[in-house]
Structure 1
Amino acid sequence: MSIDQRPIILTGDRPTGQLHLGHFVGSLRSRVGLQDSHHQHILLADAQALTDNADNFEKVRRNIIEVATDYLAVGIDPSKTTICVQSHLPALNELTMLYLNFVTVSRLERNPTIKSEIQMRGFERDIPAGFLCYPVAQAADITAFKASVVPVGEDQIPMIEQTNEVVRRINRQIGRDILPECKALLSSTGRLPGFDGKAKMSKSLGNTIVLNATDKEIKKAVNAMYTDPNHLRVEDPGQVEGNIVFAYLDAFDPNKEEVEELKAHYRRGGLGDGTVKKRLEAVLKKLIEPIRDRRNELAKDPDYIIDVLKAGTEKCQIITQNTLNEVKAGLGMFKF
């Protein structure tokens, strides 16, 4: 199958901090595999990051290099996957402005993802306009690349639905299908909880294990993990459900059969938390060590990272501009 025939996939991250194990299990691991079967673009969404980080441009700017380094360290190959910087793709801004005319404020406010994130951030009615409208900007990102597949978590499905609503309205206005609808590609692994027991592993909550964590940091995080509070003695039966250590073993231990045996042993009693944590610690050290080593080597040559981003962004400038030109022509906009 030729490159042009492969499905187009768009994915990306907001560069607000180093990537962590939650990103690895949720998207990075699958991206490494998808780059052989799909025509894959990864967008460093620095403009979107400003929707709730406008007071800290430096954090966003600095983390573009950090996140790109994480990409390469986990095995994303720039000869197979195009990595680009959102703010350097001006066609995305123009598409967003066009699409805003096809979306109502009430529809944006009804978006379940937006509603929950507004509540989580405590915006109430003091909502930055950029934040409220970022589903439209995301629709511009997806359609500019004509992506048919977008890897997301379940909480992001409303964003895909809204993108497809925009696509249908634009195509209907033009009178033919120039933009494809996209499908959500869900991770086979659920959202990874933070090591502190919180429902979400989050940079802002400080409960992450970053991809270049030292052995000491890994050990500290694993030792801090919640297990079963009623499992007071080794001989006591323990509960696996809601046990953070077993959640991580499910996500990262390659020997699924042995993990199931450990679960059965833990449930019937006779297996201590310390033993299970030692296994998880060894699994995470084995996973992170080669990523950390590659990352440390890559960090010695930041010019190489910049060259990768520049080459990928220049390629994507052409792709996104072509889509913008096609949409504008289809809508019948004035042309000199």
Structure 2
Amino acid sequence: MKVLSGMRPTGKLHLGHYFGVIKNWVELQEKHETFYMIADWHALTTAYKNTEQIKENIEQVMIDWIALGLDPNKSTLFIQSEVKEELELFLIFSMITPKSWLEWNPTYKDMKLNLLRISDLELSFKGGLRDLVKEFLAKVPYKIVDFEAFEEVILDTLSDSFIRAVFEGLLEPEILNRLNVSKRDFYDTDTYGFLGYPVLQAVDILIYKAEAVPVGEDQLPHIELSREIARRFNQLYGEVFPEPKALLTETPRLLGTDGRKMSKSYNNAIFFADGKEEVRQKVMKFFTDPQKLRKGDPGRPHICPVFFYHRLFTNSEKTQQIEVDCMSGTLGCVDCKKIMFESLESFLEPIREKRLEVEKSIKDIKEVFMEGSQRARQIARQTLEEVKEKMKL
């Protein structure tokens, strides 16, 4: 089975990337024909103002991918922007993709609301309008086939209008002051590229005729959109594209040092490029059970991020003992972190050594990705020729 996935180059990879994505990719390359792409054009979606780091970030991703086990002899590893045919198919797909498909994509809206930190504002507007919308729909002089769906469409439309009005200064300015966002922030994310990036994602998948894409549940709408675009093209012009399926992957939600999801933007991540002492310092700062203030206090390991790491990196017998000792209060948080650090370091050390070795051969690694890009481009070129033939272009 042909499998494709990709990653935006945002810099050095951390533990969350490995357990969320890379570990699964390494396993897939043993069983399938796999294509893994550094999606540098997608990086422009939100980083178009700060492009100076993209080249360096691509190199860091290359290094981490190889160090973490992606094998160019088993997978096609390539860079999105080296396959110029993607842009031509992106233009074609843009012409046949209804705008409503993009606007109704829940991931698009969620990303925008999260970037602007206005999710709560949208929920507030919806909550205040729901009763009024129900009253309005009760008076509509037509039969409503799906009342709840129609209600959500109206609520979405109205809340979008209210949010736009806030940023246009049509409502009290105190709202923006509380949110600490501006009109510029709103329009910086209101671009054609941000709206249309799922079409480019569809190109990423379909131009290589991938049959499956490994994703988490939150990415399912993107795969469905790719299937819709494939169906629409095939119906309009003739069969070219297979409809890709989602390979749902269950991945642990790796916690960062502050107890939130591990993320570079939260400054709570442990990177594979971190040195041993740097990792030690980060581990010793880890958030723990807030009710366990000192040794002797009984702990709650099931809510403690440090214990979560024990379950990943410490052997099961020792982990069971740590759980008992934590709950009884005989194990303090400082000692618990020291044990966790040793377990984590036993996992990180060989990867760190491999990473340093790979980093010394960066010229060779770049060549590997260029060769992979050429293989990918050859496939893309053949697909584009089929597309043009079907469209009589």
Tell me the TM-score normalized by structure 1. 0.90
Instruction: Report the counterpart of residue 64 of structure 1 in structure 2.
Output: 58
Whichever of the two has the greater Rg, that structure is 2
- Residues 160, 182 of structure 1: 8 Å contact kept: yes
Change (3 A) 1:16 1:287: same
Change (3 A) 1:329 1:261: farther
- Contact kept, 8 Å, 2:313 with 2:347, in 1: the verdict is no
3-state SS of the aligned residue for 1:79?
A: coil
2:63 aligned partner, one-letter code:
T
Structure 1 unaligned blocks of 5 or more: 1-6
Asked if 1:333 is matched to 2:327, the reply is no
CA deviation string 1:300-333 (max 9, x = no partner): 1221011101110111100111122222322x23
Secondary structure of the residue that 2:345 maps to in structure 1?
Answer: helix
Q: In the TM superposition, what is the alpha-carbon distance from 1:117 to its structure 2 partner?
A: 1.1
Q: Give the secondary-structure state (helix, strand or coil) at the position aligned to 1:43.
A: strand
How many angstroms does 1:108 deviate by? Answer: 1.2
Q: Distance in 1 between matches of 2:371 and 2:6?
A: 17
Query: Are 2:24 and 1:30 aligned?
Result: yes
- What do the CA deviations read for 1:101-153 (whole angstroms, capped 9, x no partner)? 23222321221211111112225454121111111100100111111221223
CA shift for structure 1 position 268: 4.6
* Amino acid across the alignment from 1:76: L
**1:160 corresponds to 2:223:** yes
Q: Is the 8 A contact 1:212 1:291 kept in 2?
A: no
Alignment equivalent of 2:96, drawn from 80, 99, 102: 102
**CA offsets 1:32-58 (integer angstroms, 9 cap, x no match):** 222110111110101110111112222
Q: Distance in 1 between matches of 2:251 and 2:318?
A: 18
Query: Would the alpha carbon gap of residues 298 and 121 (structure 1) be closer, same or farther in structure 2, given more than 3 Å must change?
Result: same
Partners of 2:290 and 2:19 lie apart in 1 by 26
Flag the 1:224–1:66 CA change in 2: closer, same or farther, 3 A: same
Q: Counterparts of 1:56 and 1:266 in 2: how far apart (Å)?
A: 46
Choose which of 77, 83, 94 in structure 2 pairs with 1:83.
77
What aligned pairs does 1:97-246 form with structure 2 within 5 A after superposition?
97-122=91-116, 123-126=185-188, 127-176=190-239, 178-198=240-260, 200-246=261-307
Deviation by residue 1:148-202 (Cα, 9 ceiling, x = unmatched): 22122332222112111212212222343x322222233332322222222x222
Answer whether contact 2:314 2:340 (CA < 8 A) is retained.
no
**% identical aligned pairs:** 40
Query: Matches of 1:257 and 1:161 in 2, distance apart?
Result: 43
Do the aligned partners of residues 263 and 59 (structure 1) sit closer, same or farther apart at CA in structure 2, a change above 3 Å counting? Answer: same
Matched residue, 2:379? 319
Contact residue 253 and residue 259 of structure 1 kept, 8 A: no
Which secondary structure state, in structure 1, belongs to the residue aligned with residue 6 of structure 2?
Answer: strand
Q: Tell me: CA distance 1:273–1:85, structure 2 relative to 1, closer, same or farther (3 Å).
A: same
User: Equivalences for 1:240-319 in 2 at 5 Å?
Assistant: 240-250=301-311, 252-253=312-313, 255-256=315-316, 258-319=318-379
Q: How many equivalent residue pairs?
A: 324
Contact 1:226 1:244 survives alignment (8 Å):
yes
Aligned partners of 1:260 and 1:326: how far apart in 2? 58
CA distance in 2, matches of 1:23, 1:68: 13
Match of 1:92 among 86, 89, 94: 86
Relative distance call for 1:216 and 1:188 in structure 2 (3 A) is same
Letter in 2 for 1:145: Y
Pairing 1:17–2:17 present: no
| 1:236 CA displacement | 2.9
Counterpart secondary structure, 1:230 = coil
Deviation, structure 1 residue 65: 1.1
Offset of residue 260 of structure 1: 4.4
Runs (5+) with no aligned partner, structure 2: 117-184
**Could you tell me which amino acid in structure 1 is paired with residue 306 of structure 2?**
V
TM-score by length of 2: 0.77
Correspondence 1:49 to 2:49: no
CA distance in 2, matches of 1:210, 1:258: 25
Note closer, same or farther for the CA distance 1:249–1:71 as it changes in structure 2 (3 Å cut). same
Structure 1 or 2: larger helix share?
Answer: 2
Maintained 8 Å contact 1:12/1:45: yes
Q: Is the 8 A contact 2:216 2:250 kept in 1?
A: no
